[in-house]
Amino acid sequence: MLLRIQPDESLRSFVERNLFLQRHTHSVEIFGAPEFRYRRWGNKQVITIAKLLGWDNCYGFNKLLHSHTDYTVHGVFKAKDGHSYSANEFGLGFFCFDDFSKTRSYCPMCAKEDLCVRGYSYWRRNHPLVVVCAKHNVDLLSKCPFCGKPFSVHGHSLDVIWSGCAGRSLGDAKPRANEDSEALHLAQFFVKLNLLQHHLSAETAFNVLKNKLTEIIEDDNFNLISKGRRARLTFHYEDLRDPRAFRFFVDRSQVHQLLYLIASIYGNESPLIS
């Protein structure tokens, strides 16, 4: 029998946890297939997992993406002419939903809490731009705190979160407090985005941002935290005035700019998602 997938557990964590605990059982045989050894996972792996969980068809595929991958940032912001959550990913599959050639990261405090609460931890889905834990405000660790290896094909396998490194548990790493408030806001924003039940109009988000930026930059009393931040906001403002900017922001490869912008303007108080 398959293990229960945990809330916000990444798909590769789910597969590797099943293999780690019950490698030779029939129920996880399919996870031994070559396609699950690939570094880059596309729609094929996601569809297979969705079927195993009983979440057939495109709805199940989307549900898995929304709850267990970082695809949320693409699924949630929608242009007027495209309301489908995953566009043509279910049928054609261009997107890479997990790339094991890149390291993943974890929060040592979450790992420690997991051990107390459920007896084990797991790898959470995360966006590569998120570098701090939204819950504990500590830096996420993208290298093993004991030997320095990354958590990727170039270092530790994902098993290290269950087996430990040379007898030490990843939850024993000393947490380092985050001092970058924008990094925290971005992490908190990503969490909120993942909880959304409806998509957001990218056009509306874009216009709200444009107005808010104008308001901020024209407000003499606005107390900017630093000169550098002001320069960045001004840079974004100039971008938004360019009619090509909208296409730029909703382009998949650039959507992270939109995330940064929202996080830097609204911080933890984003009205777009309250």
Give me the amino acid identity at 185. H
Strand partners, 168: 165
**Cα-to-chain-centroid distance, residue 216:** 29
C-beta of 35: minimal distance to Zn ion in Å?
A: 28
Q: Are strands 200-201 and 40-41 parallel, antiparallel or unpaired?
A: unpaired
Q: Is 165 helix (H, G, I), strand (E, B) or coil?
A: strand
- Could you tell me the CA-to-CA distances from 158 to 2, 93, 194, 205 in Å, in that order? 18, 25, 23, 37
- 147 binds Zn ion, rule: CB under 5 A: yes
Q: Which of 5, 28, 165, 233 binds Zn ion (CB under 5 A)?
A: 165
C-beta of 184: minimal distance to Zn ion in Å?
A: 12
Sign of CA dihedral 251, 256, 259, 264: negative
- Could you tell me the CA-to-CA distances from 45 to 18, 25, 32, 102, 125 in Å, in that order? 15, 19, 12, 18, 16
- 163 binds Zn ion, rule: CB under 5 A: no
Contact window for Zn ion (CB under 5 A) among 58-66, 70-78, 116-124, 134-142 = 134-142
- 15 binds Zn ion, rule: CB under 5 A: no
Q: Interface mask (CB under 5 A) for Zn ion, residues 83-122, using x and -?
A: ------------------------x-xx------------
- 135 binds Zn ion, rule: CB under 5 A: yes
- 133 binds Zn ion, rule: CB under 5 A: yes
Tokens standing for 46? Answer: 């996601």
- 47 binds Zn ion, rule: CB under 5 A: no
C-beta of 97: minimal distance to Zn ion in Å?
A: 23
- 246 binds Zn ion, rule: CB under 5 A: no
C-beta of 145: minimal distance to Zn ion in Å?
A: 8
- 176 binds Zn ion, rule: CB under 5 A: no
Contact window for Zn ion (CB under 5 A) among 1-9, 22-30, 137-145, 264-272 = 137-145
Q: Half-sphere exposure of residue 123, counting CA atoms within 13 Å on the CB side?
A: 30
**DSSP E strands: which ranges in 28-157?**
40-41, 77-78, 98-99
Residues lying near Zn ion in the complex (CB under 5 A): 107, 109-110, 133, 135-136, 144, 146-147, 165
